[in-house]
Amino acid sequence: MCAKELKKTSRFTEVQAELERTGAALFVDKEGSENLYIRSPYTIQYIHSYAEDSPFFLGLAEGRIRGTRCTACQYTFATPRGHCQFCGEPTQWVDLPTKGKVHAWTTCHYGSEAFLKETPYNLVLVEFEGAKSLLLSRLKDCGEEDIYVGMPIEARFAQEPSYSITDLWFVPAPGSLKK
Amino acid sequence: MVSGGVTKFAKAHPEMDFRLMCKNAFDRARAEVPNLRLDGIDGTRISYFSDHFTRQLKAASMVQDYLGLNPRGSVRIEWGGATGGECFQAAYEAVASGRMDTCLAIGFETMSRVATWKGNEFIALASDTNFDFPLGGFYTGYYALMVMRHLFEYVRRAKFSHISDEREAQRKAIEYGTRVMAKVSVKNHRNALYNPYAQYPKNIDVAGVLGSDMVSYPLTREQICTMSDGAAAAILCTEERAKELTDHPILIKGVGCGTDTMRLADRPFGKVLLMPHEKPSDYAHLEYPGVHSFRAGRSAGLEAYRHAGIENPGKDLDFIELHDAYSSSEIQTYEDLGLCKYGEGYDFVERGDAFLPNIDYGFPVPRAGTIPVNPSGGLIACGHPVGATGLMQAVFAFWQLQGTIGKHFGSDRLQIPKAKRGAIHSHAGTGSSVTVTIMEGK
């Protein structure tokens, strides 16, 4: 095989298409010089440990949302952390309510490649009674036109846990959707 | 700072890898200081953000090697979106500490090596991979969450308190706020029409910005910076050495850096860090920073202003090049940097202080020229090759303060007359780290 057999193009999108097809292509730039591109796959099976965050993810499988509370200053974190961000002291696990309110929200119409097929999806930062910090989650069963700051919402849990943060999501509380 | 150089930022530079891009930026900087020989550079600080984009670990060593600077000292700098700003300050510290007489700060990013949405995934890995990323990790989404709360805190409460239906009042606030945000995007795209280094100059109007693809509500595509390939370089040295190299050195007058929690969800609800010209009663009921403001930006600004002896930034600075990855974050940053009070960002846009007087934006800008922000076009129009971006700002600010914009841009249109003092502002992941640097001309 010699370079002459490679497809030459001055369109970058055609380079990408050609790489998918044959694995190599020549991009011809404005000055006429030929730049060789090759396809170069890169996949990793990562061994991810939740370590000190593990009880939170095990809790989701039991239908519980577990935050942490500082043993010294009593600040309650809705997104758990092993040590307090204010005084550095250890925290202990506490159960949070499964009802909350929307603190902030958006609807994503695009996303990272891994989530493109799920678009559009709603992201919400959730406020809980008794917790001072927030938790990021998805809000399902409603659209962009329904959501507002302060909207009451309720937790739902996956029947079959995947031990991911996606085992938990929220839906509008009964009666909170626009009539 | 005695010289700077930038490659044109582009969607892709197929003809250059990261080493050659850096070489080009470096050679452009060297061309301005012909008396500086290669062996007159004592060491380097080299920045790039993502090993995923580069797919080459220790890429900074390959830059050092390609530039012919071995065996002198070098360090790779990475700090998310603020990588370039951190690199600039690291070079400043190398000189200010007396360790080097002359230090090169150089940075790059090659983001074209993966498709755009894969690139977004790489960037989103700079969010917590236990709690944030798996939910749909997407930085535009995170910033959309932040501006939604900003709109709620300041626009819904201040401008639509007469509407009792909560949902309707919030919709009006979003509608009003996004029109103002669109004006920021128009400003930056139209300023960039006169900057030949910019990737996306565009004669766009408010309707065009609002009508572009919705990415994360309420942020449309034209309010978001893009992926870029590019490199930028800045040469810093001691005052004595600077006088040997150029008639127009620019002084680094102050540096500041601030940080905040990686997860938005962890941001506290406390008291505002006050600027010298603010008082506690200005913010009696505001819980801060929450997710509406960048505490790291305020913290960085305060440190840099203190260092530079700045009391009132809106009066004491002539321009700012700031990190407008989103039109919304430019408005939030006006407030963090004390150009106006928290809550006044939208009115600040409407008054026009941050606009240039000699550019037609298609809407009135009554106070244009008071303190131009992103006269170059910012990230929205120039592009955002992460490791180069903060250094690009340094180079554009350097040219402004030298009064050499005409020479470098081929037109004087973006030159701010008699610019004496400017700030550059580099910002990472939802405001988890921010740098501010004050630069001063003669």
pLDDT, one tens digit per residue, over A157-175 is 999 999 999 999 999 999 9
Residues B145, B199, single domain; the answer is yes
Assign residue B69 the CATH number of its domain: 3.40.47.10
* Number of other residues whose CB lies within 10 A of the CB of residue A42: 9
* Residue B233: both structure tokens together: 């370089």
Query: Given pLDDT bands bounded at 50, 70 and 90, which one contains residue A43?
Result: confident
Residue B289: in which H helix or E strand, if any?
Answer: strand B288-289
Task: Say if the Cβ atoms of B121 and A123 lie within 8 Å.
Answer: no
Structural domain boundaries enclosing B366: 120-224+251-440
Of B130, B132, B216, the CB nearest to A109: B216
Query: Given pLDDT bands bounded at 50, 70 and 90, which one contains residue B243?
Result: very high
Residue percentage of chain A with pLDDT more than 70? 97
Q: What's chain B's length in residues?
A: 442
Task: Say if the Cβ atoms of A136 and B265 lie within 8 Å.
Answer: yes
Q: What is the mean pLDDT of residues B26-35?
A: 98
Query: Given pLDDT bands bounded at 50, 70 and 90, which one contains residue B442?
Result: confident
Residues B42, B155, single domain; the answer is no
Paired with B43 in beta bridges are B73, B103
Give yes or no for A29 touching B (CB within 8 A): yes
Residues B186, B314, single domain; the answer is yes
The pLDDT of residue A162? 97
Residue A179 has pLDDT above 80, yes or no: no
- B229 — phi, psi (to 5°)? -110, 135
Q: What is the mean pLDDT of residues B120-128?
A: 94
Which chain B residues have a beta carbon less than 8 Å from that of A31? 15
The pLDDT of residue A177? 87
Q: Where is pLDDT greater, at B305 or A30?
A: B305
The shortest C-alpha distance from B118 to chain A (Å) reads 5
Of A42, A104, A136, the CB nearest to B132: A136
The shortest C-alpha distance from A63 to chain B (Å) reads 17
Minimal-distance CA residue of chain B relative to A134: B265
The pLDDT of residue A44? 86
Which chain B residues have a beta carbon less than 8 Å from that of A105? 145, 148
- A contact test, residue of B110, B148, B215, B430 with most A CBs within 10 A: B148
- A contact test, residue of B13, B50, B54, B135 with most A CBs within 10 A: B135
The shortest C-alpha distance from A35 to chain B (Å) reads 6
CB contacts < 8 A (A, B): 150
The pLDDT of residue A28? 94
* Strand ranges (E), B95-225: 102-110, 214-216, 219-220
Q: What is the rounded (10 degree) CA torsion for B377, B382, B384, B390?
A: -60
- Whether B110 contacts B10, CB under 8 Å: no
Residue A2 has pLDDT above 60, yes or no: no
User: Is B338 inside any structural domain?
Assistant: yes
Of B12, B217, B268, the CB nearest to A107: B217
pLDDT, one tens digit per residue, over B321-377 is 999 999 999 999 999 999 999 999 999 999 999 999 999 999 999 999 999 999 999
Last residue in a domain, options B61, B85, B117: B117
Which chain A residues have a beta carbon less than 8 Å from that of B172? none
Task: Say if the Cβ atoms of A112 and B129 lie within 8 Å.
Answer: no
Of B15, B166, B215, the CB nearest to A35: B15
Query: Given pLDDT bands bounded at 50, 70 and 90, which one contains residue A42?
Result: confident
- Whether B47 contacts B105, CB under 8 Å: yes
Residue with tokens 């990588």: B83
Residue B410 has pLDDT above 70, yes or no: yes
pLDDT, one tens digit per residue, over B37-71 is 999 999 999 999 999 999 999 999 999 999 999 99
Using CA atoms, how far apart are residues B422 and B420, in angstroms rounded to an integer?
7
The pLDDT of residue B4? 98
* Residue B193: both structure tokens together: 């029409």
Number of domain units in chain B: 2
Residues B369, B380, single domain; the answer is yes
The pLDDT of residue A163? 97
Residue percentage of chain A with pLDDT more than 90? 89
User: Is B233 inside any structural domain?
Assistant: no
Residue window 127-146, chain A: list those with CB within 8 Å of chain B. 132-138, 144
The shortest C-alpha distance from A148 to chain B (Å) reads 6
> Sign (positive/negative) of CA torsion A107, A110, A112, A116?
positive
User: Is B242 inside any structural domain?
Assistant: no
Task: Say if the Cβ atoms of B144 and A37 lie within 8 Å.
Answer: no
pLDDT, one tens digit per residue, over B152-184 is 999 998 999 999 999 999 999 999 999 999 999
Residues B169, B125, single domain; the answer is yes
pLDDT, one tens digit per residue, over B67-89 is 999 999 999 999 999 999 999 99
- Whether B327 contacts B180, CB under 8 Å: no
Using CA atoms, how far apart are residues B230 and B264, in angstroms rounded to an integer?
30
Residues B112, B133, single domain; the answer is no
The residue type of B49 is: F
Task: Say if the Cβ atoms of A12 and B14 lie within 8 Å.
Answer: yes
Of A109, A114, A137, the CB nearest to B214: A109
* Number of other residues whose CB lies within 10 A of the CB of residue A160: 6
Residue A4 has pLDDT above 90, yes or no: no
Of B135, B140, B261, the CB nearest to A85: B261
Last residue in a domain, options B117, B142, B159: B117
Give yes or no for A46 touching B (CB within 8 A): no
Using CA atoms, how far apart are residues B294 and B283, in angstroms rounded to an integer?
16
- Whether B215 contacts A109, CB under 8 Å: yes
DSSP line for B363-388: S--TTTTSS-B-TT-HHHHH---HHH
Of B134, B140, B269, the CB nearest to A164: B134
Task: Say if the Cβ atoms of A12 and B216 lie within 8 Å.
Answer: no
The shortest C-alpha distance from A97 to chain B (Å) reads 17
The pLDDT of residue A127? 98
Task: Say if the Cβ atoms of B152 and A149 lie within 8 Å.
Answer: yes
User: Is B334 inside any structural domain?
Assistant: yes
Using CA atoms, how far apart are residues B5 and B30, in angstroms rounded to an integer?
8
Of A106, A121, A132, the CB nearest to B148: A106
Of B15, B130, B167, the CB nearest to A178: B167
As a 3-state breakdown, chain B gives helix, strand, coil percent values, each rounded to 5, of 45, 15, 40
Residue A3 has pLDDT above 80, yes or no: no
Residue percentage of chain B with pLDDT more than 90? 96
* Residue A62: both structure tokens together: 């039991």
Residue with tokens 């929690």: B261
Last residue in a domain, options B117, B143, B172: B117
Residues B59, B151, single domain; the answer is no
Residues B217, B340, single domain; the answer is yes
Pairing status of strand B43-47 against strand B102-110: parallel
Residues B155, B283, single domain; the answer is yes
Residue A140 has pLDDT above 80, yes or no: yes
Q: Where are the domains of chain A?
A: 3-38, 51-172
Checking ipTM against 0.90, whether it exceeds it is yes
The shortest C-alpha distance from A72 to chain B (Å) reads 17
Give yes or no for A27 touching B (CB within 8 A): yes
| Residue A104 CA: distances (Å) to CA of A134, A135, B84, B384 | 10, 11, 30, 27
Which chain A residues have a beta carbon less than 8 Å from that of B117? 110-113, 116
The shortest C-alpha distance from A102 to chain B (Å) reads 10
